[in-house]
Amino acid sequence: MNFRNASLLSFPCAAGEGAEGGWGRSSVLPPSPLRGPSPASGGRKIKSVVRLRLYAALTMMMLGLMVAPLSYAIDPLPFKDRAEEVRFQKLAKQLRCLVCQNQDLADSDADLAKDLRKQVYEMMQSGKSDAEIKDYLVARYNDFVLYDPPLKPGTWLLWFSPFAFVLIGVFVVARILRSRAKQAGGVRPADTESGDDW
Amino acid sequence: MINRLLPLAIFLALVGLLGFGIYWNTHHEMTEVPSPLIGKPAPAFTLPLLYEPDKTLSGKDLLGKPYLLNVFGSWCPTCQYEHPILTGQIKPLGIKLIGLDWKDEPDDAKRWIAQFGNPYDTIITDRDGRSGIDFGVYMAPETFLIDAEGVVRYKRIGMFTPQNIRDELLPKIAELTGQSAKKATP
């Protein structure tokens, strides 16, 4: 049996959940103009009507895409007030959905993300602080659940390597500049070209 | 001289880095999130049995002997792939196998078991997925090896394969039985 080719994991998010949430919005769009009378059967007039409807549909679609990010509260959670909702959304943006791992908890349509949002909401209701909620999730799902990994010895490379690379870059550039300056100042100007070798 | 070799050195370093990336990706499941529960007591749970919903099973009931907790669901296609392996390779190991039917309808689960067979000693149901969250479950199948003291010793994310049973599970189980044998002797 060859198991290497089979995906070893099942993602509940792939099983229609996402389709229901993500594309459900398309029901707002007017029926597709492409299903209208075929251009061949009608004259110019019908063609332009079809085109008009196509433009309208496209415009609606564009508007839909623009509005989509605003409708991020996926589950209707009964927030006490606006402040609480803002706190919830802010927190959910810092947490990763374990199923669709490049999405945060606020964005994901995965079933598990819904459960975790509910959990976060309920912990907020019971007066837990953001830090306590994060700790709760980290205790179960590891630091990976946090979008910003915490600063600790194991993540030093992650946090500081960009600065290290900048330092290396500065060092290399400084060396090149210095050697060019030396060559330019030293002998004939034609020699400076050898500095451009690479 | 050094200036001439530098580009080559940088190129080789890059080849090394990218080569390591390819090696790492082919040898690791990149979506795996290592469980923070390894070496810690398994979270407490008390869940109804699939076939006797008025009865429950808790983590405490299972203390005293190591067991495997296999998270599955009738909605989970990979669990179907894993099913014959549970029946053919895990069950013969003689270790207690508990099925955790996760985020599933009991009727669907019963139908699924009726269709494919029941490799489990007991099946418990976690319909709303709360215990699954406590265990840090994020997909199915997942399997936990829990020792006689209720400590999580090993977690498999994704299905068992003959290969990782041999390389990972069996040594872990051997460790546990070795431990209990040592404890029994003095």
Residue A177 lies in a domain: yes
Overall average pLDDT of the A48-52 stretch: 82
Q: Could you give the number of structural domains in chain A?
A: 3
What are B74-87's pLDDT values in tens digits? 999 999 999 999 99
Tokens of B155: 């977690």
Residue A3 lies in a domain: no
Among B35, B168, B163, B145, residue whose Cα is nearest residue B97: B145
- Residue B91: which pLDDT band, with cuts at 50, 70 and 90? very high
Among A20, A28, A35, residue whose Cα is nearest residue A66: A28
The count of other CB atoms within 10 Å of the CB of residue B22 is 9
Residue A4 lies in a domain: no
Least confident of A8-17, A58-67, B85-94, B119-128: A8-17
Chain B contacts of A138, Cβ < 8 Å? 36
**ipTM summary value:** 0.81
Single-letter residue type at B43: P
How close does chain B come to A39, measured CA to CA in Å? 45
- Please state the pTM of the whole predicted model: 0.70
Same domain, A18 and A59: yes
More confident residue, A170 or B27: A170
φ and ψ of B124, to 5 deg: -115, 155
- Bridge partner residues of B48 (DSSP): B56
Overall average pLDDT of the B61-80 stretch: 95
What are A65-111's pLDDT values in tens digits? 776 655 555 567 888 889 999 999 999 999 999 888 888 998 888 88
What are A136-195's pLDDT values in tens digits? 999 999 998 998 888 888 888 889 999 999 999 999 999 999 999 988 776 555 555 555
CATH number at residue A99: 1.10.8.640
What are B138-159's pLDDT values in tens digits? 988 999 999 999 999 999 999 9
Q: Are strands B46-48 and B122-126 parallel, antiparallel or unpaired?
A: unpaired
More confident residue, A19 or B3: B3
Domain enclosing residue A103, as ranges: 82-145
Same domain, A137 and A95: yes
Q: CATH fold of B36-184, please?
A: Glutaredoxin (3.40.30)
Overall average pLDDT of the B111-137 stretch: 95
Element (H, E) at B182: helix B170-184
pLDDT surpassing 60 at residue A15: no
Angle subtended by helix axes A111-125 and A130-141, to nearest 10 = 140
The answer to whether B76 contacts chain A (CB < 8 Å) is yes
Same domain, A168 and A134: no
In chain B, what are the domain boundaries? 36-184
The count of other CB atoms within 10 Å of the CB of residue B63 is 14
Same domain, A132 and A175: no
The answer to whether B133 contacts chain A (CB < 8 Å) is yes
Cross-chain residue pair B162–A7, CB shorter than 8 Å: no
Same domain, A109 and A138: yes
Chain A contacts of B33, Cβ < 8 Å? 98, 141-142, 144-145
